Amino acid sequence: MEDPKLEDKSFLIDNLLKLIASLRGPDGCPWDRKQTPRSMLVYLLEEMYELADAIEADNPEDICEELGDVLFHIFFMARMFEETGQFSIHDVARVSTEKMIRRHPHVFGADRVESPDDILQNWQKIKMSEKNSTANVSILDSVPGKLPALMRAFMMFDRTAKAGFDWNRISDNLKKFEKKIAELKSSLFGKKKTVADEKIGDLLLMLVNIARFAKIHPETALLGSVKRFEKRFKMMEKRLAESGRRLEDVSQRERAQIWE
C-alpha cells in the first residue's frame, strides 16, 4: 500500500527540503557542506543548459528530470542563505507570489487589457514603478550583464522599444541590414579589414532586432539552426564512415554533394 503521506503533494517538496538540510548538516556530505552560493552558481547554469537541451529535444522524461535538477539547485542555494539568517525558500516563494500578483492586475485586480501587447506594456510600467526603480536608473540596468550576448541584445532591444525608442517597421531594419552588409563587404575585401569585427557585430545586433520585430527569439532560432547543422554533419560523417572513408579524405566537391 502506498504511503498516505504521498497523497499530499506538498510532502514531496518538504521531503526534498529535508534531504538538502541533511546534506548540509553536521553528519551530511563534506562536499555539500563546503559549497557557497558562488561555487554552486556554475552548476545551476549547467543544469539550466541541460534543461534547455531537453526542451529542445521535446523529451518529457528528460525535461522532468532536468527540471528536478534545477529545482534541487534552487532549493540548495536558498538553504545556504537560510543558514546565514538572510532568507529562506519560503521567503523566496512569498516574494515571487507577491510580485506575480502585483504584475498581473488584469487577473488579480480590476484592470482590463485588450491584447498580449497591452499586458507586456503594463508589466514594464509596473516593473519600473517598483521599489528598485527610480527616475535616475537606466531602463537597461535590468538587463543582466552575465547573459550570453544574443540573449542580452534581445532583452536590450525589448527594453528600449517599450520605452519608445524603436524603428517603426521591420522594412526599416532590413534596409539598414542591407546597408551594413555592403559595409562589411567593403571592410573584408577593401582596405579596412581591421573594422570587420565591428561590422559583423553590427550585423548580428541588427539581426536580433529584426527577429524581435518578427516575434522570433534569436536564441531559439539559432539553437534550432545549430541542431539542424549538427544533425546533418553527423549524418555526413556516418555516411562516409560506412564507405570506409574519413571526412578529410574526401574532396570539397564530394563533401558538398553529400551535404546536399
What pLDDT score was predicted for residue 141?
A: 83
What pLDDT score was predicted for residue 191?
A: 63
Note down pLDDT in tens along the chain; length 260 residues.
Answer: 345 554 567 888 999 999 999 999 999 999 999 999 999 998 998 999 899 889 988 899 999 999 999 999 999 999 999 999 999 999 999 999 999 999 999 999 888 888 887 887 787 778 777 755 555 578 788 788 888 889 899 999 988 887 788 877 888 888 888 888 888 888 888 766 567 788 888 899 999 999 998 989 998 889 889 889 999 999 988 988 888 888 888 888 888 888 88
Residues 6+ apart with CB under 8 A from 89: 17, 74, 75, 78, 79, 82
C-alpha to C-alpha distance for 259 and 175, rounded to whole angstroms: 32
What pLDDT score was predicted for residue 1?
A: 39
C-alpha to C-alpha distance for 159 and 88, rounded to whole angstroms: 31
The tens digit of pLDDT for each residue in 105-148 reads: 999 988 888 888 788 778 777 877 775 555 557 878 878 888 88
C-alpha to C-alpha distance for 121 and 123, rounded to whole angstroms: 5
C-alpha to C-alpha distance for 184 and 196, rounded to whole angstroms: 6
**CA 25 to each of CA 11, 34, 39: distance values in angstroms, whole numbers, following the listed order:** 20, 11, 18
Buried b (16+ CB within 10 A) or exposed e, 190-214: eeeeeebeebeebbebbbbbbbbbe
The tens digit of pLDDT for each residue in 22-40 reads: 999 999 999 999 999 999 9
DSSP string, 106-117: HHHSS---SSHH
Q: The whole model's pTM is what? A: 0.66
What pLDDT score was predicted for residue 140?
A: 85
What pLDDT score was predicted for residue 20?
A: 97
Are 32 and 91 in contact by the 8 Å Cβ rule? The answer is: no
